[in-house]
Structure 1
């Protein structure tokens, strides 16, 4: 019995692996969708909890209780989706699993946090920070899933989604801070400074969202900004931004502000759902194409086997056949492909497809790598200078503006300087 493995078997296996990768990606998208749903509800609970605390427990208690009930059901759904994700993605790396452990720890301790809020044993600022920490861990998991994607189109969609969700999170924090500012009746400079930082963070991520997003999602974003309620939101944001220290604010504006911000978050949520649906449809199309390609490959191999063996002799060592670019998975001139039906022709085509995918993936991977460097530099500033996250990012942004440089260049310089021996 001949058990020797052949080129035909391995090229067929490559096609099968590609189909399996797309199926795993679809599972990942379904899990990311569930993460996004959980984030959305936790943001709603944070908003209701902050208003509950700001009113000394006199308002939003019923609304908060309803949201908690929804969240408890969503938490159970998330855990189930997590189990399915890990079952279908046995190669989930250590970073994803570690982040997941942090998330599960946070979910396990949510009951205690909610009890503190009910008893008003936690400050407004700590309430925001506690929920934001959990949301931040969920968003970080989305980033790691994005970073592990090897399909260029899906990776770009995931990067678009990540920036939308991250921007939406800062918008949710802006809702809470602004509601507290109006509700307190007077402006405090630290709160206003926090608002400025949140607006800057939103702008950064929404710019990246538009940069990587399709024309369809960019049009949805423009439509959001053209709404009357969005213009009204900008007016109230200007009131908070232009107010002076200790200036009196109208407490009744807190409800209007909260509603306007909620409408804005809901509109972002609709775009988020649109993006998820686009990815599912895109994956369905890619999977269909991959399965068709697999069948064509099988037919092609059958045709090769019917070719007289003498016609295929020495094709690999025929130096007239250009294969070096294919061996290095570099894009090459398809007009120079070997004309005869052979394994060489099939392998050239496969190498070209992989090269094109890697080329398309490079911009997305570059953006992900830059984000990692910025986060590392930010963390270094936090640990060495005793800054919080916002302060560290603001420091880097200020340096970039003063020196007319990109923030990634500043981050690389910070890391390089730290790496130098004392």
Structure 2
């Protein structure tokens, strides 16, 4: 008695069902990414208010600080509600182990914020220490977003995620610029190291926003251009910061002006970020709709395709084989199927294969860009760990090496990682 196996049509149906399931997972990831971006924005607000609170020795922004703390708590609750449930067995959830690890690290960082908040309120931290604490929490949330970007499998969704991640990076650097500038203006002057930090943050923002423009949709780019054109006051204050070398008696007033101008800019950036979140969700739903539109392949669809091709000339599908001497083409037969039905099914399989291959090609290019970023980040960590550099110093070192050698930064990073033993092996 012959064994009955699933048909090719059954496997094609299963392929589409899996595709839809993966897209629904991406839709959930998109919702989580959106809420994480809101949480990061609220933390950026609290970090900014904390800067003014500390720099004014507790005389400014008391109410604002409390309001920011409440907003962070509400946003955090929404993020927690969207986290994936823990799988009962290994294959219950399509997310990678790295994503669950990133969630765990982000949750641990969020658990530390109450202590940080109390220390800020009690003025037990310097401006730099408070900024470092907030930066750590935000960095872990950004890593969580990065893992969601890295696990996306639909090219359109991947583009939306990469655009959003790149923009979130630039916006976070803008928040750090607000904090550094607030400290400088409050002190009444910008020493050389603070000016250099400002310039580095401005330069890094430009790189992130440039990367964002390569992946964003046209409507978001229009929104971005309108925001970018309204930054004249920020540019004026930046020039003052870069030339203010002696103490200014109006430091407090200038610090408040700087904070307000940069806050308006960051609020403007948030409108672009919200537009990116909308585009991301729209792209997720569109991909699901397209996949469902291609969904089930039933007898009716088969019959319709047979009628459409009834008048077409006969043809064969060929594949290349090798007989030990020369490659040659052989016809692929649809054994057990009527000629028209065989052509219909093979056409569907070919269309599905071509579409998946196109997706793979586009994803490969995107993942290559993400992998370059990982290499550079690993090289930065290497320099920070073994040379005692700050993150900005490590970046500037890699950048100078790349310019001096006329090479890409990722090539310099890869070379450093390849000889990492030179940094870790003790001298004999």
Tell me which interval the TM-score lies in, with the shorter structure as reference length. Answer: 0.7 to 0.9
Deviation at 1:215, TM superposition (A): 2.4
- TM-score, length of structure 2 as denominator length: 0.86
Aligned to 1:248: 248
Q: Does residue 353 of the first structure (1) align with residue 355 of the second (2)?
A: yes
Deviation at 1:247, TM superposition (A): 4.9
Within a 5 Å distance, the mapping from 1:389-400 to structure 2 comes to 389-400=391-402
The range that moved more, 136-145 or 291-300, is: 291-300
Match of 2:190, SS?
A: coil
Cα distance change, pair 156–348 in 1 and its aligned pair in 2 (3 A): same
The 8 Å contact of residues 22 and 283 in structure 1, kept in 2 or not, is answered as yes
> Which ranges in structure 1 are unaligned for 5 or more consecutive residues?
307-314, 326-335
Deviations 1:75-131 (A, max 9, x none): 222211214698998122221111211111122121111111111111110100100
Report the RMSD for the aligned CA atoms in angstroms: 2.8
Cα distance change, pair 121–416 in 1 and its aligned pair in 2 (3 A): same
The 8 Å contact of residues 31 and 85 in structure 1, kept in 2 or not, is answered as no
Cα distance change, pair 181–19 in 1 and its aligned pair in 2 (3 A): same
Q: Count residues with an aligned counterpart.
A: 397
Structure 1 distance, partners of 2:264, 2:98, is 35
Cα distance change, pair 376–250 in 1 and its aligned pair in 2 (3 A): same
Cα distance change, pair 97–222 in 1 and its aligned pair in 2 (3 A): same
Structure 1 distance, partners of 2:194, 2:409, is 25
The 8 Å contact of residues 302 and 341 in structure 2, kept in 1 or not, is answered as no
Match of 1:90, SS?
A: coil
Aligned to 2:120: 117
Aligned to 1:329: none
Cα distance change, pair 18–324 in 1 and its aligned pair in 2 (3 A): farther
Match of 1:99 among 99, 102, 108: 102
Aligned to 1:53: 54
Deviations 1:33-69 (A, max 9, x none): 1100100000000000111011111110111001111
The 8 Å contact of residues 397 and 407 in structure 1, kept in 2 or not, is answered as yes
Structure 2 distance, partners of 1:3, 1:77, is 49
Aligned to 1:259: 260
Match of 1:173 among 173, 176, 181: 176
Structure 2 distance, partners of 1:288, 1:77, is 26
The 8 Å contact of residues 186 and 254 in structure 2, kept in 1 or not, is answered as yes
Structure 2 distance, partners of 1:240, 1:187, is 7
Q: Does residue 321 of the first structure (1) align with residue 317 of the second (2)?
A: yes
The 8 Å contact of residues 182 and 253 in structure 1, kept in 2 or not, is answered as yes
Aligned to 2:329: none
Deviation at 1:378, TM superposition (A): 1.0
Structure 1 distance, partners of 2:412, 2:84, is 40
Structure 1 distance, partners of 2:255, 2:376, is 35
The range that moved more, 147-156 or 383-392, is: 383-392
Aligned to 2:219: 216
Structure 1 distance, partners of 2:180, 2:298, is 58
The 8 Å contact of residues 56 and 120 in structure 1, kept in 2 or not, is answered as yes
Structure 2 distance, partners of 1:358, 1:27, is 22
- TM-score, length of structure 1 as denominator length: 0.87
Aligned to 2:366: 364
Deviation at 1:301, TM superposition (A): 4.5
Aligned to 1:26: 27
The 8 Å contact of residues 306 and 340 in structure 2, kept in 1 or not, is answered as no
The 8 Å contact of residues 187 and 248 in structure 1, kept in 2 or not, is answered as no
The 8 Å contact of residues 27 and 85 in structure 1, kept in 2 or not, is answered as no
Aligned to 1:202: 205
Structure 1 distance, partners of 2:367, 2:77, is 33
Match of 1:294, SS?
A: coil
The 8 Å contact of residues 396 and 410 in structure 1, kept in 2 or not, is answered as yes
Deviations 1:281-340 (A, max 9, x none): 22222212211111456644567999xxxxxxxx9xx9x523469xxxxxxxxxx9x994
The range that moved more, 393-402 or 55-64, is: 393-402
The 8 Å contact of residues 8 and 301 in structure 1, kept in 2 or not, is answered as no
Deviation at 1:411, TM superposition (A): 1.1
Deviations 1:195-246 (A, max 9, x none): 122112111111111122222222222211212xx111011011112333x4
Match of 1:156 among 159, 166, 169: 159
Match of 1:322, SS?
A: strand
Cα distance change, pair 172–3 in 1 and its aligned pair in 2 (3 A): same
Deviation at 1:8, TM superposition (A): 1.6
Deviations 1:122-179 (A, max 9, x none): 1110100100111011011111110100100110110110010011001001001101
